[in-house]
Amino acid sequence: MNRLALSLVVLLNVTLFGAYRVVPVAPTPESESVVLTFVFPKEGENYTSSIVKSQMRLRGYPLSVMSNFERAMQLRSNGQGQTVHVIIDNNQYFTLDKGSLYNFDQQRAFYDNVLNFKIPYNLSQGEHLIRAFPARSYGESIKDPESFAIRLFYVKDPQRKNLLKFDPSAPLLTYNEPQGSFDVSETQPILLDFYITNCRLSENGYRVRLKIDGKQQAIITRWVPYYMYGFTKGSHTVTLELIDKKGKKVPGEFNKIKRIIYVQ
């Protein structure tokens, strides 16, 4: 680990399991003026087509620019710059990096963007959950409550029969990173990042269980970004699960997520 990475590490919280290390790091500084909201779908809206159009408004967060923080030199960047990550149900996120600029503030520092987009695949009939949040160019999510947008909607289901039984007030885990391919060595970090709503993580309460390749396991008790080390070349499975103080999965359709990543 280089000196720059070491300066960000909370050494007493390093988790060692098997060949892997999971290291909590300080969140990237955030502005309290970042606000992301859905215009549509409206809550409970029923779409008559499997092709779904959506619109969001984003305030106080520039898109398509590279994040100017030291962490950008340590982690994989996406090449698009800062984006909004959008997740449908428990699918992999897709990114939005352009909007229609329509308002600056007096200092011309913060501005509003209108993001119009189509969900890039057809959706099945029934109930669906859309979640979104701004992310740095290296993938880390903005974790202010005003920057997390969520809506429940339906596709071709006017009778509301195909239900997920989703409770918007219940504890919810949203997976962010890692996703995709990484060109790193075993000594370079891969970002682990997620979003927690309607609960707090602690040693004696809600926690997140991390598994790599279905075997190695770590228990996460702090909602911060993490650096993961030790990935060999090839494909790896990363699983996150929200658990209670007894170690049982918290009820909910989306509180266990699995992703396959590739290390080149």
114-143 average pLDDT score: 96
pLDDT, residue 217, reads 83
Q: What is the pLDDT of residues 27-76, one digit of tens each?
A: 999 888 899 999 999 999 999 999 999 999 999 999 999 999 999 999 99
CA distances from 4 to 72, 75, 204 (A): 11, 12, 32
Confidence of residue 4 (pLDDT cuts 50, 70, 90): very low
Confirm if 122 and 50 have CB atoms less than 8 A apart.
Answer: yes
**Residue 11 half-sphere exposure toward CB, CA atoms < 13 A:** 3
**45 phi and psi, to 5 degrees?**
-65, 145
Q: Which of 97-106, 139-148, 224-233 has the lowest mean pLDDT?
A: 97-106
Q: Specify which of 10-14, 166-170, 231-235 reaches the highest per-range mean pLDDT.
A: 231-235
74-92 average pLDDT score: 95
What CATH architecture is 3-27+169-263? Sandwich (2.60)
Name the residue with tokens 């049982």. 248
Confidence of residue 2 (pLDDT cuts 50, 70, 90): very low
Confirm if 191 and 177 have CB atoms less than 8 A apart.
Answer: yes
pLDDT, residue 160, reads 78
User: What is the chain's mean pLDDT, rounded?
Assistant: 89
Provide the β-strand partners of residue 216. Answer: 212
Q: Which helix (H) or strand (E) holds 209?
A: strand 207-212
Rounded to whole angstroms, how far apart are CA atoms 122 and 85?
18
Residue 251 has pLDDT above 50, yes or no: yes
Residue 117 has pLDDT above 90, yes or no: yes
Greater pLDDT, 106 or 121? 121
Q: What is the pLDDT of residues 194-209, one digit of tens each?
A: 999 999 999 999 999 9
3-state secondary structure 87-147: EECCCCCEEECCCEEEEECCCCCCEEEEEEEECCCCCCCEEEEEEEEEECCCCCECCCHHH
Percent of all residues in the chain with a pLDDT value above 90, rounded to a whole number: 77
Identical fold for domains 3-27+169-263 and 35-155, yes or no, is yes
pLDDT, residue 100, reads 78
User: Superfamily for 35-155?
Assistant: Immunoglobulins (2.60.40.10)
79-85 average pLDDT score: 95
pLDDT, residue 101, reads 72
Provide the 10 A C-beta neighbour count for residue 93: 23
112-131 average pLDDT score: 94
12-39 average pLDDT score: 84
What are the structure tokens assigned to 75, written together?
A: 């982690």
Locate the domains of the chain by residue range.
Answer: 3-27+169-263, 35-155
Confidence of residue 240 (pLDDT cuts 50, 70, 90): very high
Percent of all residues in the chain with a pLDDT value above 70, rounded to a whole number: 89
Residue 264 has pLDDT above 70, yes or no: yes
pLDDT, residue 12, reads 39
pLDDT, residue 108, reads 55
